[in-house]
Amino acid sequence: MKLLSSGIMVNHKIKSNTFREKQVKTVNGTKKVYLRRKPKLGVCSVTGQTLKGVPRELPVKMQNMPKTSKRPQRPFGGVLSSKASREELKKRVRTTKL
């Protein structure tokens, strides 16, 4: 079990590694603050590459962001990488009947 420097038991949510410790400067010295960890980068479902233009933010901050800053403004933006989306568009165009 994790103990504070004063020997007091710590709350379960702090022990579970969901939160990260950060030292913050205050007027009276430094203080430990517990912040929620950011999610991992988004990955392409086809190639496994990290997605460009997709922010790595907490859901609360993502709610308050405009849709244009949450994902790229192109077909399959925020789901497939640019390479995979290019291939998918080519495949769809070639299979459609005129």
Mean pLDDT of 28-51: 92
Q: How far apart are CA 77 and CA 60, in angstroms?
A: 21
Q: How far apart are CA 47 and CA 50, in angstroms?
A: 9
Phi, psi dihedral angles at 64 (to 5 degrees): -90, 0
Catalogue the E-assigned strands of the chain: 19-26, 29-36
Q: How far apart are CA 5 and CA 37, in angstroms?
A: 23
Q: How confident is the model at residue 5 (pLDDT cuts 50, 70, 90)?
A: low
Q: Where are the domains of the chain?
A: 1-37, 38-98
Mean pLDDT for all residues in the chain:
87
Mean pLDDT of 20-49: 91
